[in-house]
Structure 1
Amino acid sequence: MSIKLEMLRTFSVTAAQGTLAGAAAVLGRTPSAVSMMLAQFEEEVGGPLFETDRKSRLTPLGQLVLLESQRATDVFDKSANAIRRHAMSTTGIVRIAAVPSATVALLPDVIEAFRAVHPDVRIEISDVDSITVRARVEYDEADIGIVSAPPDAPLEGERIRSDDLGIVCAENGPIHMAYLRNEDASGWEALGLESLIANPLCELVDDPIVNDLRFASTLEARNTTAILSFVRRGLGASILPFDAVRSQPDGLKFFVPTQSVSQRELRKIRHEKEMVRGPILAFWNLLAQ
């Protein structure tokens, strides 16, 4: 007999519950059946996994085996869930990893157009930063990625659009008040009037003032909704593209500095070795320039 997934799951549940009766209730089996499965598992492992018959304490071997059991069952459950998700959709699934500003400004229109042709395809969106987007595409955790990049960066994927980066601040905050008083608040130096809420897009601004403020910042956020909420509460100002703020409620102001204009590009990426077809290819093509 070899080690089976059922043994790993039974052992993990028993270790979590601490008793045979508790594990039996979770697993939907009798205590005697759970006990027999554990005995077979210990025989395969080659040593005892519990200190006592009450199953409330693990041996050193049991602690090591528990980690591997949890790892194995987690991987299996993840794969099983992915298969179920595919089965739920008659034509497949499209997994998108995108930077927050693209999720807010770009994807709603694309999803609407996609659903008009593929109403039964399941779409999964993860809202993460560019580094994580690249990792998810690389490790096949996303079919399509959307990243932010400076226009002069090495070509990566395909360009979707570009837009100017600007300062987003509270309507009644120091930056906007200075702007209304016709004070010199039209450049990146205006950020010095408030605390900077740092985010990955700040790194795309090639300006020494922004660099200094970014390193001195005591608040950083990577989600556009969170950033705008913090700005609206008066916790500071930040740097975002206009697309990320154009549909937001009142209480925010946005302007592009007249000097040292900085842009960002949205680019779509996919795994180079994966053949893209079906719904994924259809979604990819809708992300056009």
Structure 2
Amino acid sequence: MTNLAQFRVLVAVAETGGIRAAADRIHRTPSAVSMTLKQLEDEFGGALFEGERKTRLTRFGEFVVDHARDLLEHSDRVSRSINSFMHNGAGSIEIAVLPSITLTFLPNALRTFRGDRNAAVVRVRDLDSHAIIEAVSREVIDWGIASYHRLPDIDAQPLFSEPLSLVVRTDDPLCEMNGPIPWEALRDRPFIGNGICDGIDTPAFLAISERQIMHARSTLSLLSIVREGIGITVLPSLTRIGGVDGLRFLPIDDPNARRNVSLLSRADRNMSPAARRFATIMQELIAVHACEYGLDI
């Protein structure tokens, strides 16, 4: 019967691209790694890698490695929570939030949570929506806050909606235009795509997105790229709260250019009392300060 140690060996080989590199990573001998892979293939009844060098996974191997990662991440999260409980009597909470939430609501939520004398350790991941949805779906985190497209295994509690903005340098000619910027004004401009763009289905914008010169997932990277004059992009209006020297956030003449943000958790999983309390604090803070940040509840 397979065990976690065997799955760790498999994932190490898949990620390092070979038996010797994997052996160095996990401090095992190459022969021990090879034996473990053979045991797994015998157990499953199928080849995990193509060829003897173990540098490329088969389709079956890719399937097994994906599930092995899920299992290992879940095991590691449980171990961290148990260890935290041993030290503080309350365990730990693992969450993932959008960068704009990290800059605005997270600090006050943490302050309130600690003020309630909650001893649980809070572990925060700063990710984009796609990564957060994947982490929730794979049960790597207790809950997340992200833009959301409905999935059957995820429970979504709507938090707010906000307009998207066109991000340009302060010396960009678009800053001289009166009123919201129409998509047609970007027709000949180099555009930097990102995950937010997936939620805009206006034909005029899709034509612009198809001609993007690059795609970036990190908000910090996007802001830096625009600041260097390489191109322009679209980001949530809330992003400007973090400090955007040298940049302007311009309104867009498109009612569909918005993002809807929800608190996400696994529909088939009960959160711990500490995780549920922290989620409630975050929801209450967003509701109280929505107008301040120009959000629609």
Contact 2:84/2:92, CA 8 A, preserved across alignment: no
Residue aligning to 1:173: 172
SS of aligned partner of 2:132? helix
The answer to whether 1:280 aligns with 2:279 is no
User: In structure 2, what is the Cα distance between the partners aligned to 1:277 and 1:4?
Assistant: 27
Q: Which letter maps to 1:241? A: P
Secondary structure in 2 aligned to 1:287?
A: helix
**Aligned equivalents of 1:77 and 1:272: distance in 2?**
21
Quick one: which of 222, 226, 249 aligns to 1:231?
Answer: 226
Q: Provide the rounded CA distance (Å) in 2 between the counterparts of 1:147 and 1:268.
A: 7
Q: Does the CA contact (< 8 Å) of 2:77 and 2:140 recur in 1?
A: no
Matches within 5 A, 1:156-195: 157-176=156-175, 178-179=176-177, 186-192=181-187, 194-195=189-190
1:82 aligns with 2:77: yes
Cα separation, 2, equivalents of 1:142 and 1:8: 20
Partner of 1:205: 200
Q: Post-superposition shift, 1:198?
A: 0.9
Matches within 5 A, 1:1-289: 16=20, 81-86=76-81, 87-89=83-85, 90=88, 91-118=90-117, 120-149=119-148, 157-176=156-175, 178-179=176-177, 186-192=181-187, 194-258=189-253, 260=255, 262-288=257-283, 289=287
1:275 is paired with a residue of what secondary structure? coil
The answer to whether the Cα contact below 8 Å between 1:98 and 1:145 also exists between their aligned partners in 2 is: yes
Between the aligned partners of 2:250 and 2:3, the Cα distance in structure 1 is 61
Q: Percent identity?
A: 22
Conserved? CA contact 2:194–2:215, under 8 Å: yes
Rate the CA distance shift 1:218–1:73 in 2: closer, same or farther, 3 A.
Answer: closer
Q: Residues of 2 paired with 1:193 and 1:185: CA distance?
A: 18
Any unmatched runs of 5+ in structure 2?
14-18, 40-50, 288-297
Contiguous gaps of at least 5 residues in structure 1: 28-33, 46-59
Alignment CA distance shift 1:117-1:191 (3 Å): farther
1:192/1:102 Cα in 2 relative to 1: closer, same or farther (>3 Å)? farther
- 8 A Cα contact 1:118 1:279, kept in partner: no
Q: Alignment partner of 1:245: what SS?
A: helix
Shift of 1:281: 0.5
- Structure 2: distance between partners of 1:9 and 1:247: 39
**SS of aligned partner of 1:157:** strand
Report the structure number with the largest CA radius of gyration: 1
Opposite residue 187 of structure 1, the aligned amino acid is: P
Residue correspondences, number: 251
User: Separation in 2 of the partners of 1:275 and 1:7?
Assistant: 29
CA 114–6 in structure 1, closer or farther in 2 if over 3 Å, else same? closer
By how many angstroms is 1:193 displaced? Answer: 5.5
Distance verdict in 2 for CA 1:170–1:156, change over 3 Å: farther
Pair 118,201 (structure 1): closer, same or farther in 2 beyond 3 Å: farther
Root-mean-square deviation (CA, aligned residues, Å) is: 4.4
Decide whether the 8 Å contact of 2:164 with 2:251 is kept in 1: yes
Shift of 1:100: 3.4
Partner of 2:48: none
Residues in 2 aligned to 1:212 and 1:7: alpha-carbon distance in whole angstroms: 48
For the residue of structure 1 that corresponds to 2:242, the secondary structure is coil
Work out whether residues 137 and 143 of structure 1, in 8 Å CA contact, stay in contact via their aligned partners in 2. Answer: yes
Q: Cα offset for 1:122?
A: 2.1
- Normalised to the residue count of structure 1, the TM-score between the two structures is 0.68
> What are the superposed Cα offsets for residues 63-99 of structure 1, whole Å, 9 maximum, x if unpaired?
59xx99xx79988975664355221352122121233
Distance 2:121 2:212 in 1: 39
Separation in structure 1 between the aligned mates of residue 257 and residue 68 of structure 2, nearest angstrom:
48
2:44 alignment partner in structure 1: none
CA drift of 1:149 comes to 4.5
Counterpart-to-counterpart distance in 2, 1:81 and 1:174: 51
Separation (CA, whole Å) in 2 of partners of 1:8 and 1:132: 23
Give the 3-state SS of the residue equivalent to 1:103 in structure 2. helix
Q: 1:215 to 1:101 in 2, by over 3 A?
A: farther
2: CA distance, partners of 1:148 / 1:80: 27
